[in-house]
Amino acid sequence: MPIAWSALKEALRQQALAEGFAVAAFAPPAPPPHAEYFCQWLQQDAHGEMAWLARTPERRTDPRHLLNPLGTILVLGSNDCPANTPVGVARDESRGVIAAYARHRDYHSLLQERLQRLAAWLENRLGQPVAKRLLVDTGPLLEKPLASAAGLGWQGKNSLLVSPRFGCRLLLAEMLLPLPLPPDGPLPNRCGTCRRCLEACPTAALAHPYRLEARHCLAYFTIEQKGPIPTPYRAAMGNRIYGCDDCLAACPWNRFAPVTQDVAWLPRPALVAPALLTCATLDEVSFCAMMQDTPLERIGVVRFLRNVAVALGNWSAPEALPALIHLLHHAAPLVRGHAAWGLEQLANLPGNQSLGATIAQWLAEQAQRETDPWVNEEIGLARHRMTTVLVG
């Protein structure tokens, strides 16, 4: 008996919703719209240190390289819209801001589990194994353009997928199948003349619509950057310690997004607005315990403390002094160097000469015992700028 492909498609869509996905749509087995711009983006080094994006770009721009034959791409979205966005936390400078998607269980593992259950259902339905690829931001695939091709939304000026039902709050996953399931049609781009996401970016990483310059993005610096955060971007970080949601939160389509009812995406209380003073005390063991099975786990305690040191400096409150002194003595040079910068920010507080003198002494003592050339350079720059400000 021949397979009724349209009926199978709708049954697969309904089962995807039953597995916990909020939306499911089908893209054609072809390069997604505007795939050629990805190669131009790479040629301009807009991807920064994310070298994996530049590997085999022909595979990333054409999903037919990932499965042969490829009949359809099922694109799935899970709504993780929080009740309270991190942007509201930013007003309390004593607390760290963590991007909403990172405040709960790592979506990669959970969506992969749901994909596997969905694939098992499909094979049971057909009564035979099915060749497939299951991807959750883990393979060479342009998933946002594919989601746009499938009709889940359109790629907005902030480069993110914008859904008319869920705004920018969909976590994506894909199932590549050899089955000739009919595709769904794309939606029109409804960004119009709106520029809110572009204007919300604190570092002009979205100077051009639809094009994210990773080398200017605070999410990139706090997550992907392995080395020092460039000095010109440290003040703009504010109290962000993992990611940046500003361009996402600014999108007016988010007002239609219902707060998620999926318990898997409820934020962990410890990650909603962690006190910077507490974050500064974390060691390898306590960091792993706090961040276990969340996206923060992947950056490790050293990069996390690097971010915390910058946030403490931007807090610019005397209460941050003991924490920054503690980080100035950390075993990792990356942490010590950023702690020196943070101490400089405290020393430059107006009307507090005694605090500046104390910090100058701490930095001078650290300079005497410091063995790392980069940290010594950071300490030297901090002391020079402090002297200039105090004398001036």
Four-CA torsion 358, 307, 92, 104, nearest 10 degrees: -150
* 217: in domain: no
Q: Is 293 a catalytic residue?
A: no
Instruction: Decide which of 146, 177, 208 is a domain's last residue.
Output: 177
**CB distance 194 to 157 below 8 Å:** yes
Element (H, E) at 246: helix 246-249
Domain limit, last residue, from 177, 206, 227: 177
CATH code: domain of residue 368:
1.25.40
pTM of structure: 0.93
At 131-190, the pLDDT tens digits run 999 999 888 899 999 999 999 999 999 999 999 999 999 999 999 999 999 999 999 999
245 Cβ neighbours under 8 A, 6+ residues apart: 85, 86, 87, 99, 100
Tokens for 130? 């099915």
Given the residues 80, 106, 137, 372, select the one marked as catalytic: 137
Residues 289 and 163 reside in one and the same domain: no
Report if residue 160 sits inside a domain: yes
pLDDT by residue, tens only, the chain of 392 residues: 567 999 999 999 999 999 999 999 999 999 988 877 777 776 777 677 776 666 777 778 899 999 999 999 999 999 999 987 776 666 899 999 999 999 999 999 999 999 999 999 999 999 999 999 999 988 889 999 999 999 999 999 999 999 999 999 999 999 999 999 999 999 999 999 999 999 999 999 999 999 999 999 999 999 999 999 999 999 999 999 999 999 999 999 999 999 999 999 999 999 999 999 999 999 999 999 999 999 999 999 999 999 999 999 999 899 999 999 999 999 999 999 999 999 999 998 877 778 888 999 999 999 999 999 999 999 999 999 886 655 54
Residue 260 lies in a domain: no
Last-in-domain residue among 162, 177, 192? 177
- Within a domain: residue 289? yes
DSSP string covering 28-88? -SSPPTTTHHHHHHHHTTTTTT-GGGGSSHHHHH-GGGTSSS--EEEEEEEE---SS-HHH
Q: For residue 303, count CB atoms less than 10 angstroms from its CB and return exposed for 0-12, middle for 13-18, buried for 19 or more.
A: buried
Does some domain include residue 23? yes
Distance CA 148, CA 129 (A): 29
| Assigned domain for 131 exists | yes
Same domain for 284 and 163, yes or no, is: no
Mark whether 147 and 20 lie in a shared domain: yes
Domain total in the chain: 2
Q: Is residue 240 part of a domain?
A: no
CA–CA distance, 358 with 344 (Å, rounded to integer) = 11
Inside any domain, residue 253: no
Cα–Cα distances in angstroms (integers) from residue 338 to residues 28, 123, 221, 231, 329, in the given order = 48, 53, 13, 9, 11
> Which residue range(s) make up the domain with 344?
275-391
Token digits for 329?
């003595």
Q: Which amino acid is at 365?
A: E
Beta carbons within 8 Å of 10's beta carbon, 6+ residues apart: none
Do 162 and 280 sit in the same domain of this protein?
no
In angstroms, what is the C-alpha Rg of the chain? Answer: 24
Length of the chain: 392
Q: Report the largest interatomic distance among the alpha carbons of the chain, rounded to a whole angstrom.
A: 88
